[in-house]
Amino acid sequence: MNLATRFHLTDQRLRRSIDCHQRVLLASWLSPDAAYRSHEQKALRRELADLRALHAELHELAIRAFNPAQLRIPAGQPGGGR
């Protein structure tokens, strides 16, 4: 598997994980237990921030390793088109 393919697969996995964490964070607002909800939301926010940082780092490393046009990075992402 070449590096560009590995980038795309890792990028997709991180995006799915970020989306999943965002959905769980939104769903946590429905918990009737306020203490649990607050604790869970803090943990989810930290994990979400870590995932976003990893995603940005992945894009930064890929930009250094590849021609950005090769990677087809979407607009709005670090190193992406306009």
Query: Using CA atoms, how far apart are residues 22 and 3, in angstroms rounded to an integer?
Result: 28
CA 79 to mean position of chain CA atoms:
15
- Identify the band that residue 49 occupies on the pLDDT scale cut at 50, 70 and 90: very high
Rounded Cα distance between 46 and 81, Å, is 28
Helices 34-65/3-28 angle, 10° precision: 160
Q: Give the mean pLDDT of 28-56.
A: 83
Instruction: Give the amino acid at 42.
Output: K
Q: Which of 65, 32, 27 is nearest to 44 (CA)?
A: 27
Lowest mean pLDDT among 15-24, 44-53, 71-80: 71-80
